[in-house]
Structure formats: C-alpha cells, structure tokens
Amino acid sequence: MMKKAMENRHSAWIRICHWINMISITLLILTGFYIHAPLSFRLFHNMDNPRMLHFCMAYVLCAGVVLRLYYAFATGDWRNIIFDVKTDFKKLPSMIKYYTFLAKEHPYYGKYNPGQKAMYTGVFVMAIIQIITGFIMYMPNTFMGLGGLLGGLIAVRVIHYVINWVLVLCIVAHVYLDISEGIPVLKSMFTGKIPADFDHGVHGVFDEPVVHGEDKGVSI
C-alpha cells in the first residue's frame, strides 16, 4: 500500500508552544475558578495545592507567551495569527455564514481563517492582561500603583474573573472551528503534518491562493 504524501503544517516550535500554553491556560482556568469560589467549584480538596499550581502555571504561561511571540516575529509567522483589521475584517461575513450553516461555500483564507486569527490575537492580549492582573493580586504591595490605575484590587479581581470566562468561550470556539475544518487539521497539532491532498474543506470562493503546508520560517 502506497504511503500517503504528507506536508508540513506546524513546526515543532509551534506545537511545543501550543501545548505549553494550552496546558497552562487550562490549569489556570480550573484552579482560578476554585480559588475564586471553592464551594461552587469543588475541584480540589484544599486551597494550598491549587494556589501553588496556579502560581506555577502563571510562570509557565509567561514563558509560553514569550516563546510564541518570539517565534512569530522572528519567522514572520505573525502574519498567520495576528488579525489584520484592513484585510481580515471584510472576510468575516462569508466565514460566519459558512460556520453557521447559512452558506455551502467554504472560503479559503490561508493557514487560518479570520475568525481563528481574531481569536488568537484576542487570546494573546487576554493572556497578557491575565498575567498583569494576576501578579497585581499576587503581590498587591509591589504593584500598588498599577492596581490603582486599573481601579483598585476589586476592579482587578473582576477583570481577571471575567476574562477567565471569556477564555473558556474562546477555547470552545477554537475547538469547534478546528473540528469544522477537518480532523487532519486537529491531528496536525500533534504530528506537524497534514495530507498533501487535504483540501481544508474548501469549496467555491478563493480569496487567496490555496497553498498547503506551513509558511517558510525557522523550524526545529
């Protein structure tokens, strides 16, 4: 049996950063909910372990965000994940119609569609806000001035908690968009490869040339 031809989609660097950030964000969300309301979210048996895990994962997320941003700007991969208001915003209507089953055509926008790019951009911004507000709550005396600019500790806690829920919604949307595009897309985040003949579910409209594989850049 002839082996199916495969092409690169995600470098090892992208996959490592993805799983570092995914694991850290997931654990931060779970431990954060418990710390906020231990009686409502009975996920742990005591407060010490989730607090320690929360603080550890905060540092892991810091490292993951820095590494991913470094790779993005060092290789030009930022064009794949940063939402461009001028070019991507006008593509949103056709994408929304397809993913809400109002259109049969699946436009091809490049490696990621505008919805994914908007979400990736938003998640990076929210991750940075969570890191800042998290450290303000962790060391309120050290970051008293910054906390004051944001409205005080109560306001900081509200911001931190609300963004936690927004991140949950983003994760759900992220999984839905990937599943809708095809199982090979999900597998590629584990293997880095995608079938050379995979069409990304594209039918009809082509806003950009269909190019399989990953954009050129540094890979490890």
Residue 106 lies in a domain: yes
* pLDDT of res. 111: 81
Contact status, residue 67 vs residue 19, Cβ threshold 8 Å: no
Q: pLDDT tens-digit profile of 158-214? A: 999 999 999 999 989 888 877 877 788 888 889 888 887 776 555 444 445 444 444
Range of the domain at 107: 6-127+183-195
Q: Are 202 and 210 in contact (CB under 8 A)?
A: yes
> Would you state the pLDDT for residue 201?
54
In a domain, 200, yes or no: no
Angle at 77 (CA atoms; ends 75, 80), nearest 5 degrees: 165
Q: List C-alpha distances in Å: 175 to 13, 80, 87, 203.
A: 21, 18, 24, 21
DSSP state of 4: P
Residue 74: inside a domain: yes
Please report, for the domain that includes residue 24, its CATH number. Answer: 1.20.950.20
Residue 17 lies in a domain: yes
Residue 107 belongs to some domain of the structure: yes
Average the pLDDT over each of 68-72, 106-110, 215-219 and give the range with the smallest value: 215-219
- Domains: count for the chain: 1
Confidence bin at 2 (pLDDT 50/70/90): low
Q: Where does the pLDDT of residue 39 fall: very low under 50, low under 70, confident under 90, or very high at 90 and above? A: confident
Provide the token pair at 136.
Answer: 């303000």
pLDDT over 90 (residue 96): no
Q: Is position 108 within any domain?
A: yes
Q: Which of 58-67, 94-103, 152-161 shows the lowest mean pLDDT across its residues?
A: 94-103
Are the C-beta atoms of 21 and 65 separated by less than 8 Å?
yes
Instruction: Taking residues 28-32, report their average pLDDT.
Output: 92
pTM over 0.75: yes
Does any domain span residue 60? yes
Domain contains 156: no
Confidence band, pLDDT 50/70/90 cuts, at residue 10: confident
Tokens at 46, concatenated: 């005591």
Compute the half-sphere exposure of residue 61: CA atoms within 13 Å on the CB side of its CA: 26
